[in-house]
A and B are shown apart, each in its own frame.
Chain A
């Protein structure tokens, strides 16, 4: 079904569900009886261990842990176009977490997005991907979560507008977008590729950020991995529309996902830093499988992109264009000493001719990094970049962004950079006001 038609159908269907009692049959799910929380020692430690790796692949802690609060206790506000949803407590606390959930309730939630009490869960919980997780893996995840420390904490109520706060509507959404058995499989591509497909399309839910969403917040099937939005960041396209100046290969992806940086592409930042932080603890074979599958997804490179064997020389900083002497001068004085300092990644600055942020479709990622910098991960070896929000004013920032775009991105200038600068500053200010500390050290064990 073509995407647009699907959206129209979707809207119609939701109207129907809202209006018609017939939909009750679709929307209704039985409650599963609560049980006393199982003792942690009733779980097989090997299965718990496997669940730990799977939870890392699933990036569960990113949404279900608020920095400084209890692990997996939920409460993280997830902004959506439809309002703010607060992540749930998935610790084994009987009252506020999932402690009273039998295994079948957990599996049902993963498979079809329904809580133990029979309520539909909002698809910010990416069950459109998790539906592809195998029974065995669901059981391991359950074992892992049920052996965590219970935290008694009720997340705040979601802030959604009517009629979206009416949960049976979700049933309609599911009718349209929840497809199990979506994982591509191809025996000819080998076990690694198929393992990668299973992880990427399922538990790792890469598309949740990297695929654009439609008006109803569902991933656009015909634009899979074409790039999406998360927080105030752009999640880059991973398919053949990728703007990465150097084509991604399986080896490059593996290194990036394993270590958090790769010489031809730079260092993972923003929400992706958390993903690679989690992957740092995952088995090599699974990281490799994800890389192999994603490299295949990324397809043939656009003609203007280079293969990894082509040299991408950093441009001499001095040859400022007349049009943008300010941007050139700022780059030469403030950026070049690290970005052309000759020190290798990840502790030297990336050659900006390799930067996807500068080649990307909008300046958000570049602005976020320049303004906020890259904070030290407490107590761990990690790249540090000073932020320039306090020393670079809006006009200087626009000049710098335009200079970098034309000089290193070799592309049309972005539109409305000044507005993007103001927006990025606003987000940064809000984050500072909230007292957000830098990313938790769990997020990066390497390099």
Chain B
């Protein structure tokens, strides 16, 4: 058997972006050569004081370039810093993404925050503590290993004591980090690994200022945008005279197809927006594809084709084979709070408060849109409603900036309306996967073929053309050409490569540049559909082999941590091979390692399907997760619980709808999501802690396995295999009745 080849698309593209159909081992070997790198985001921002600051008055601050999106990072980072500095949890503050204060950590995405920022803070804090101890050692004239730290002070054996504030010199932490740190022994952890309550929750449950939506700056005005009725519509005419005279209206901003109204009070802005919307006449030209035929629409579009994985063993060949096609529709992030931003333009400098996931890239895009130097634009992250990827946050920030420029001095708050959030957010892309495989005589998978058709999964800024306002303004910016996201993380091909030890495997990524609908990153990217496809197909193959689904997976899985997660979930669920579920119920199982390099997650589910109505309900779910070293177990549990419920909603209910020209799923009537009636009886999350191992992040590891586990449980309950998402009541009923 040859060693498998994972092709990194960065090298492919560097080589001219040509279609790659064959490759050699040398490519892969070249990829594995990497110089010694600083851990996490220290690699790009190596100075310790970019992460940890200690003031002479004893104030301690940790910095992260990542954004708190409701996952609880702020708390986890505070735990890490406190632990490694050996101080109490509440002896420090954490400052999150701000282009003036924090490191450039790109986007908060891909379950990277713990890996990137958490790791940087971990090492920076440990190294800062070591520097403080070294300084104390000098002043006490005592060897460092005789000193201990306690309550933000270094203490000598004789009781002499110097606080961190006293020890710190102006430039002490303005030094480059070292590749290795002397980290605390996990056995001595006091803060890390504990379910410390989240620091943001008290304000959220008492009506404190918690979100960008809650900001009130002196003299602030309220703006609303009028968006076109469909993609590419041109503003033909708009008589604004009557609207300008409406009470409280401050002004109307019109720039090409960008149209907005500003009023002193928020409801005044809403009323004026409705009037303005009625006054605006548009020329529409959009031609959207047939929403009921996405599989054919997508596979018929021109694609760039990449063979991304190949493993070959001529000695093994299959006998019985199966093939199947799985589809996923466009799906909405569907934030509960529509996107919002506040911007203020003072003396040629623009400040934007935004819930963007990337203050630096969004700053670049906004500066480009405004024709301003980046140094004159500051973006400050303030939490918004959960975004689950690239929603309207960046666009709302651009809206606010464009409007604020027209009203120098006055802070402008823009919030989108519900219909705008649903109608204009960039959706999670529709996808098609085609799988085929065959079993050898012993019932093991002999060969495996996987092909995925997808758009890119990120159209985030980078470039003003990513922003709606910039696309719509008179001097409009073109949408940047989409690029496939590079492996090993991938985009449409994220988790397309099987984790299992198939002797023959071939994976194709058909990257589709044309984007009939506005799309971008949605939680887990392609992994949601690819894991749904792979793990559904594994069950189909287990059925063909006459094998138990859990045993079948273990029979193809070498990774010991993966096996541990599978075994843990099965055991805690009470999985018994061949067990029949009670009437109308079914059991399902699925597993994946997110991106094949982050957290491991296995989920067992029990569903109930009403045979008359086709309605499926998740009854209970049991998950096992290995996210490396645990910082806050309750945070991981919360993420996995959320992943299961959110993915249940995606998987059973959700699809963006549209007619020939317009998006028609524009509110909760037309884009229904899970409500309380469908909440399961129980969800249990079992964490396998790996002390001392790298953080793996848990925000996106559960979505794919949850989807496949549900599909497998529905198949178990009904005897019918559904391969098109969502697994709607009607589809299930039609399958039962067929």
Contacts and interface: CB of A to CB of B under 8 A. Distances in A.
B386 to A, nearest CB: 20
A52 interface: yes
Contacts of A384: 668-669
B670 A379 contact: no
For the complex of A and B, 4 pairs with smallest distance between CB atoms: A442-B613, A379-B653, A71-B612, A384-B669
A387 interface: no
A311 to B, nearest CB: 19
Most chain B CB within 10 A, of A347, A382, A441, is at: A441
A112 interface: no
A149 B583 contact: yes
27 contacts: A49-B737, A52-B737, A71-B611, A71-B612, A72-B612, A149-B583, A342-B278, A347-B667, A377-B672, A378-B677, A378-B678, A379-B674, A379-B728, A380-B672, A380-B728, A381-B657, A381-B665, A381-B670, A381-B671, A381-B672, A383-B669, A384-B668, A384-B669, A437-B677, A438-B677, A442-B610, A442-B729
B265 to A, nearest CB: 16
A445 interface: yes
A342 B275 CA distance: 12
Interface in A339-393: 342, 347, 376-384
B506 interface: no
Interface string B704-738: 00000000000000000000000011100000010
B669 A441 contact: no
B410 interface: no
A381 B652 contact: no
B615 interface: yes
A6 interface: no
Interface string B598-613: 0000000000001111
B670 A441 contact: no
Interface of B: 278, 583-584, 610-615, 652-653, 657, 665, 667-672, 674-675, 677-678, 728-730, 737
A295 B278 CA distance: 38
Contacts of A148: 612
B367 to A, nearest CB: 38
A380 B729 contact: yes
Nearest to B652: A379
A196 B667 CA distance: 38
Contacts of B612: 61, 71-72, 148, 442
B610 A381 contact: no
Contact of A382 (B278, B613, B672, B677): B672
A441 B678 CA distance: 11
Contact of B675 (A347, A376, A445): A376
A148 B610 CA distance: 11
A71 B610 contact: yes
A440 interface: yes
A318 B670 CA distance: 30
A427 to B, nearest CB: 22
Nearest to A346: B669
B730 to A, nearest CB: 5
Most chain A CB within 10 A, of B612, B653, B677, is at: B612
A442 B611 contact: no
Contacts of A438: 677
B675 to A, nearest CB: 6
A376 B672 contact: yes
Given A52-B737, A149-B583, A347 B613 contact: no
Contacts of A382: 669, 672
A332 B728 CA distance: 38
Given A376-B669, A379-B672, A149 B584 contact: yes
Contact of B669 (A52, A347, A442): A347
A445 B678 contact: no
B669 A381 contact: yes
Nearest to B653: A379
Contacts of A52: 737
A62 to B, nearest CB: 12
Given A379-B672, A381-B672, A442-B615, 8 more contacts: A148-B612, A378-B672, A379-B729, A380-B672, A381-B669, A384-B668, A384-B669, A442-B612
Nearest to A442: B613
Contacts of B668: 376, 384
A442 B736 CA distance: 14
Interface string A45-78: 0000100100000000100000000011000000
Interface in A76-100: none
Nearest to B277: A342
A441 B737 contact: no
Nearest to A446: B730
A441 B675 contact: no
A384 B668 CA distance: 8
Given A49-B737, A384-B668, A149 B652 contact: no
A149 B670 contact: no
Contacts of B737: 49, 52
A71 B671 CA distance: 28
Nearest to A65: B612
A49 B671 CA distance: 31
Contacts of A347: 667, 669-670
A384 B674 CA distance: 15
A295 to B, nearest CB: 29
A150 B729 CA distance: 22
Contacts of B653: 379-380
A377 B728 CA distance: 13
A72 B615 CA distance: 16
A251 B346 CA distance: 62
A442 B675 CA distance: 16
Contacts of A377: 672
B58 to A, nearest CB: 52
Given A148-B612, A347-B669, A378 B730 contact: no
A55 to B, nearest CB: 9
Given A378-B677, A378-B678, A379-B653, A149 B672 contact: no
A168 B584 CA distance: 40
Contacts of B729: 379-380, 441-442, 445
A49 to B, nearest CB: 7
A384 B670 CA distance: 10
B332 to A, nearest CB: 13
B616 to A, nearest CB: 9
B423 to A, nearest CB: 13
Most chain A CB within 10 A, of B583, B610, B672, is at: B672
A86 B613 CA distance: 23
B669 A379 contact: no
A432 to B, nearest CB: 15
Interface in A369-421: 376-384
Nearest to B584: A149
Contacts of A149: 583-584, 611
Contacts of A49: 737
A61 B612 CA distance: 10
A226 to B, nearest CB: 34
Nearest to A445: B730
Interface string A255-269: 000000000000000
Most chain B CB within 10 A, of A379, A380, A381, is at: A379
Contacts of B677: 378, 437-438
A441 B615 contact: yes
Given A49-B737, A441-B615, A378 B675 contact: yes
A441 B614 CA distance: 9
Interface in A123-159: 148-149
A376 B671 CA distance: 11
Contacts of A441: 613, 615, 729
Contacts of B672: 376-382
A440 B613 contact: yes
Nearest to A384: B669
Nearest to A342: B278
A15 to B, nearest CB: 44
Most chain A CB within 10 A, of B614, B652, B668, B670, is at: B670
A438 B615 CA distance: 14
